[in-house]
Structure 1
Amino acid sequence: MMTILVSGLINIETTVAVREFPIPYYPIDYPFFGVSSAVSGVAFNIARALRALGDDVDLHTFVGPDDDGRRVLDTLARDGIDDAHVRQELRQTAASVVLYDPSGRRQVYCDLKDVQDMQLPVSGPAGAAVRDSLETADIVVACNTNFNRDLLRAAREAGKPVATDVHVLDDIGDEYNRDFMAAADMLFLSDERLPEPPADFARRLADRYGPRIVVIGMGGKGAMLHLRDTDETWTLPAAPTTKVVNTVGAGDALFSAFLHGVAGGLAPLEALRRAELFAAHKIGFSGASVGFCDAAELDAMAADPTLAIEPERVR
């Protein structure tokens, strides 16, 4: 069992089924069983996915001393995720609303409250918990929230591999995400707003920041993998899926399953193939933090010839 330190945002997420985008105005609608609320956020989604796959998760995050914060703690306890490093220092727990249409397209509104004013302590007496976590971690997942900037430095100094997902990026020199890209051994992002073809952008990221692995999620087109050491770039088509309910959280699922595979000794290409299957299963459910299969189910999907995914080398 691998130990993965996960540090990032947790929030309460409300998902709302809408008829279409753009949404026409009407004073009230009745989407029966189309509105739900759950604990979510990038760090929770990743932690829950990794736990489903059998990994040991050491979670660091912030919530508020409010009803939503207590809901987070109750949910973590139910899911077997240790809450010892959940800091109740926000004025309010962060919240989000996700609108999604019948095709699975989504529109997200994320209210971070005061989380971007926080800083995860890594030095002095206050940082003892983080330093202890770093000592036992096999991989450090530092989500791209402000409070992780000191963690990036500490993880590198401790010689721990860092994985991060910068999500949507349209500038290779993006000021907000620069620290995360420079610290990453494994760098994930989406192709949604790239200024050039994904293969070119992935190679430029590797050349500029030096991550060993770059993965670009491409939604319904699959994913792209760039390996810096061999200068190889591969594309994988999206995994077959019987239904798409809601694509929110698909990127977190892909990221989590890939890390699980690499931490378990799989070659990056095989880890990404299995991560595609994990993400395809997940989007058959509504909500970013639900729909994660376990390791046995993933093994069965990976062995199923009807779910075969053939990679193609780009260069």
Structure 2
Amino acid sequence: MSERSLDLVVVGSANVDRVVRVERHPAPGETVLGGDTALFPGGKGANAAVAAARQGARTGFVGAVGDDDAGALLLASLADAGVDTSTVRRVDGPSGAAHITVSPDGENAIVVSPGANARVGVADVRDASHVIGAASVLFAVLEVPLETVRYAVAHASARGVRVVLNASPVAALAAETLAVLDPLIVNKHEAAALLGRTGSGEELAAGLRARGPRSVVVTLGGSGVVLADADAVVGVPTPELGDGRVVDTTGAGDAFAGALGGKLATGASLVDATRHAVMYAAESVTRHGARGG
């Protein structure tokens, strides 16, 4: 690990994305022909780490990759983006993989095979405790075991580290975990699942904020973002991109969350970080791959 303290440490997943472009997504039981398979480095945690590093945040990653070619690709892609990988463990077996179809309008359908991500454990967090405790922000996603995330959140919070959690894929969160999140980041579907009801972006953000987090950010796709904290509920619109500019929405949510975390770690306010992250995510969907080129 670098002698310099990191601004942000990600505890999360790294996957190789296997992407096929299709004219339309298959219905259940249906086979459709697609284009050639393209390989991209991805995973919610790794995507967020790269996005944070691109904001100028000194970023580290705590996770696991396999002993396969995909693992080497994932480590190289993180390092190339400036992410410190000294707390990434290589394990026997396959790396995580995501199988993705992308339609002409840029919408995607994804199946994730966790691979090495399922073996990211509490011990990995303990081994990185000195790094996490010296950071400004801990950023976590739920593509690794929930027990590991709970431990990482509690460990960081106890040391005065700001905790940002992108609760995706969605899972029930304990009250003590919710209470230290600043912010909890979810999309509108995840927010509705956590609340057990639907509503407008403002209603979802305010409802989740009432459950205990210090702040909440709800992403609404092309309709923008709503954030709620102790002061207000604020909407941030998505910029107009124009016809044909959206080519691939894979990873847009990761780009947003990572950019937000990166700006928070380098001193921005939540409102300013959110506005910047919306612009960054909008630009990412104009390029192929989960990291927007």
Could you state the TM-score of these two structures normalised by the residue count of structure 1? 0.80
Q: How does 1:279-294 map to 2 (within 5 A)?
A: 279-291=281-293
Range moving further from structure 2, 193-202 or 105-114: 193-202
The corresponding residue for 1:310 is none
Comparing 57-66 with 76-85, which one deviates more in the overlay?
76-85
- The answer (yes or no) to whether the contact 1:165–1:187 under 8 Å persists in 2 is yes
Q: Which residue of structure 2 lines up, in the alignment, with residue 186 of structure 1? A: 183
CA contact (8 A) 1:140 1:160 kept: yes
RMSD value, Cα: 2.4
- CA offsets 1:223-279 (integer angstroms, 9 cap, x no match): 11111x22x112222112241011111111111222233333333223222211111
Counterparts of 2:291 and 2:176 in 1: how far apart (Å)?
27
Q: Secondary structure at the match of 2:155?
A: helix
- Which protein has greater RCO, CA pairs closer than 8 Å, 6+ apart? 2
After TM superposition, the structure 1 = structure 2 runs for residues 1-315 of structure 1, keeping only pairs within 5 Å, are: 3-22=7-26, 25=30, 28-29=33-34, 31=35, 35-89=37-91, 91-113=93-115, 115-121=117-123, 127=126, 129-144=127-142, 145-146=144-145, 147-167=148-168, 169=170, 174-175=171-172, 180-192=177-189, 194=192, 195-197=197-199, 198-209=201-212, 211-227=213-229, 229-230=230-231, 232-242=232-242, 243-291=245-293
- The whole-number CA distance in structure 1 between the counterparts of 2:115 and 2:257 is 25
Q: What's the CA shift for 1:54?
A: 1.4
The unaligned stretches of length 5 or more in structure 2 are none
Measure, in 1, the Cα distance between the counterparts of 2:30 and 2:210. Answer: 48
Alpha-carbon distance in structure 1 between the residues aligned to 2:157 and 2:290: 30
**Shift in Å, 1:14:** 1.0
- Secondary structure of the corresponding residue to residue 241 of structure 1: coil
8 Å contact from structure 1 (residues 20, 102) kept in 2: yes
Q: Is the contact between residue 10 and residue 61 of structure 2 (CA under 8 Å) also seen in structure 1? A: yes
CA contact (8 A) 2:42 2:290 kept: yes
AA paired with 1:163?
V
- Cα pair distance change 1:236/1:28, threshold 3 Å: closer
- Are the structure 2 counterparts of residues 2 and 76 from structure 1 closer, same or farther at C-alpha, using a change threshold of 3 Å? closer
SS in 2 for 1:192: helix
* Deviation digits for residues 132-183 of structure 1 (CA, Å, limit 9, x no counterpart): 11232010002222132321121121111100111365xxxx5367665344
* Contact 1:17-1:99 within 8 A present in 2 as well: yes
Letter of the 2:96 counterpart: A
Task: Give the counterpart letter for 1:191 in structure 2.
Answer: K
Write the distance in 2 (CA, Å) between the matches of 1:42 and 1:177.
21
CA contact (8 A) 1:10 1:41 kept: yes
Structure of larger gyration radius: 1
After superposition, the Cα gap between the structure-2 partners of 1:239 and 1:179, relative to the gap in structure 1 and judged at 3 Å, is farther
Q: Deviation at 1:37? A: 0.3
Query: TM (normalized to structure 2)?
Result: 0.85
